[in-house]
Structure 1
C-alpha cells in the first residue's frame, strides 16, 4: 500500500505530474504469471494507492498532471463529524479518565467535566482540526487532574489565531466566484438562501448562472448543502462568516 498525505502541498506542477504518472503506470502495470500446467496470464501488481489531502486536489489532478492516474481516482470527500461522534470520542475522559505518567505513584488519571466536553464539541463544529485544537490547549491550560470548561476557554484564547487562520485558508483557497457565492450565503438570512436570490445577490440575472458554482461547493468542497434553501455544511466557515467566532469572549 502507498499512502501519500497532504498531496495538495506539492506545488510544483512538473513534480506532481511525474508523481501521478508514475503511480498511474504502477497501477496499470501487469506481470506475466505462469500458473500450474504452464498456463500464463497477465496479473496486476498487488498495489493500492491512497492519496489524501484537501478537496481542491481533485481540481489540480487534471489532464496535464497525470491523466492516467487522475481518471482512476475514486474521490471521497469527508463530511464533518457528527457532534455525537465527538461526544463519544471524549466520553472515556469523562467516565474513566486518561492514564498518564506522573503523580506520587508514578501514574495518574486526567478527567474531563461534562461541561468541558460540551465546550470542546461546540468549538469544533464538526471539524477534525478544530476538535483537536481546543482539546490540546485545554490539556495544557492547567496542571490539575480535571479539565474544566474554564480550562477550555482559557486554552482557546491562545488558539484564536490558529482557528481563524484555518477558516481563512479554506476561503482563500476557493476560486473567486465560489468564495463570492459563500459570502453571499453569509450575507443573506437562512430563509433567503435560494439559488435565484443568491445569484441575483452576486449580480447574475438567472439562478442557473450560479448553479455550477453551487454544485462544486456542495459536491467537491463540502462547504454548502444545496436544496430548496441552501445551508452551510461546513459549520466553522459559517460561524466565521456570520458570527464573532472564533472569539467566544
Structure 2
C-alpha cells in the first residue's frame, strides 16, 4: 500500500524522532531535568507525588544496581541518593516510568517559566490540521510521560497544538516494542487496529504495532538512526509528514 492509498481513523504518533527532533530531547530536555532534579526533590520531598515517585524508583531493578556501584551509599534513602539515581538513569537513557513522571514535573516548571519551548518539526502543525479537518483522531504514544507529552505540544514552538490531540499513552500501557501495548491502545481507543496508523522512527516499535494489526510507517528524519536495507524493504519510509497530509477516513461502501 502506498502513502496516497492509505486510509485510517486514528493517527498514532511517536514523539522523539517523529514529531520532535531527537536532539531537542537529548540536548535540551534531558540536561534540564538532570540539572534541576536535586533542587526539585529538595523543594517537594515531603509532597505526596514525590513520595510516591521515590517509592516507585526504589522498586525498579536498576536501583539496587546503582546502590551497589556507590562506595558510600547512605543507609537511608535521601534526596542526594535519589537525585544521583535519576541522573544515572538519564545518562543511561533508560525508559523507567517513575523517572519519566519525575522528569515531566521538572519540565513543567521550565515550560511555565518560558525556559523551555517544545520543538516540533515545521510540517507537524499542518499535518495535524489536515488530519483533523479530514475527521481523523490524533493520539500520541511515547516513552515520555503523558504529562511531558502534553507540555511539548501545549508549549510548542508552533503554539498550542494540544487541541488537535484526542488521547495520550505512555509506558503505563506497556513498552513500545511489545505487541500487547498496541493491543491495549486499540482497545482504549475503541478502534479496529487496522484503522490505526502508527508513525515512528523505530523499526522495533513499527514491528510490534504491525503484529497487533496496526498500520505502521517509519520516519527517516535528519538525526534519526540509519535503517538497514531490509528495514527499508519491510516498511514504508517517509522523510516527514507531508506525504500523509491527504490521509483520509475509510469509505463505508454500501452492501451489495
After TM superposition, the score normalised by the length of structure 2 is: 0.21
Higher RCO (CA 8 Å, separation ≥ 6 residues): 2
Structure showing greater radius of gyration is 1
